[in-house]
Structure 1
Amino acid sequence: MTTPDELDDRYGRTPSRRRRLVATLAIGVGAVAAGAIAWGAVSNVLDDVDVETVAFDVVDEHSVSLSFQVAAPAGRDIACALEARDPDHGVVGWKIVEYPASTQHTIAVREVIPTLAEATTGFVNSCWVT
């Protein structure tokens, strides 16, 4: 004969130890996953670097002068890839520059990009935290 307690266990009317353990583990895994997603979103923003080209000047057929502003996390070294292109959008000059950590959030920079042929434009391809 089946007892009332066995029937309750069989049909889920009372929580068993196993169910409580599974529920606790599921909540724990969910909390860890939510924390990992939140940290991934925050850490990407912490190392975010914004750049704005202010001006460029074709100095001669072998160089382009480029002025730009970089907004980066204070106290972090950064690097930027600068590029010069010709009228057909071909790359005629390329330069990687590194800047030491600064106490300021935004810095203004002027660089000269050496070119193999006369360029028609100069710009910052990208910047990143090193």
Structure 2
Amino acid sequence: MTTQQMLDERYGRTRSPARRWIVGAGIAVAVVLVALFGWMTVSGSLDAVDSDATGFEVVDAHSVVLSFQITAPPGRSVACAIEAQDQEHGVVGWRVVEIPAGESHSQALREVIPTTAEATTGFVNSCWVT
């Protein structure tokens, strides 16, 4: 064995087959983790539903008409919890509205919320894909 080979072996400058295998396995694990993280990010946003209240109208002491818009995946049915509140921010009415699947990405809706007392506002609490 030459002096150069002895020095390379002593200071770890040689590549052993086991070391190459460990590096390759580490790279493979990193690629799998990045792919898994990417898939979790994409799959979480596929079923995302966005909602915006566009207006409300207090009809009388027992009902409010809420106008709102949802943005959901086309072809998927959606449910939304809508609320009416009084002047002190107490919930005086709510209901769950089931919206059938549509072909468009966005839908504008008007729904009546029955109330137990006169409401001062109406809004969409949350929406989800059913």
**After TM superposition, is the score higher than 0.5?**
yes
What's 1:80 paired with?
Answer: 80
Give the structure 2 partner of residue 45 of structure 1: 45
Q: What amino acid does structure 2 have at the position aligned with 1:75?
A: G
Separation in 2, partners of 1:51, 1:21? 51
Residue in 1 that maps onto 2:121: 121
How far is the alpha carbon of 1:127 from its aligned partner?
Answer: 1.1
Spell out structure 1 runs of 4+ moving beyond 3 A.
3-10
User: How far apart, CA to CA, are the structure 2 residues paired with 1:24 and 1:120?
Assistant: 64
Which residue pairs with 2:93 in the alignment? 93
Whether the aligned pair in 2 keeps the contact of 1:9 and 1:16 (CA below 8 Å) is no
Letter of the structure 2 residue corresponding to residue 79 of structure 1: A
User: What RMSD over aligned residues (CA atoms) do the two structures have, in Å?
Assistant: 2.0
Q: Report if aligned partners of 1:69, 1:106 keep a CA contact under 8 Å in 2.
A: yes
Report the TM-score, using the length of structure 1 for normalisation.
Answer: 0.89
- Relative to structure 1, is the Cα distance of residues 10 and 21 closer, same or farther in structure 2, using a 3 angstrom cutoff? farther
* Structure 1 residues without counterparts, runs of 5 or longer: none
Distance in 1 separating the partners of 2:101 and 2:115: 28
Report sequence identity in percent: 58
Whole-angstrom distance in 1 between the partners of 2:10 and 2:75? 62
1:56, distance to aligned residue in structure 2 (A):
0.5
Q: What SS class does the counterpart of residue 82 from structure 1 fall into?
A: strand
Distance 1:19 1:10, change over 3 A: farther
**What secondary structure is seen at the aligned counterpart in 2 of 1:15?**
coil
Counting matched residue pairs gives 130
- CA–CA distance in 2 between the matches of 1:6 and 1:73? 65
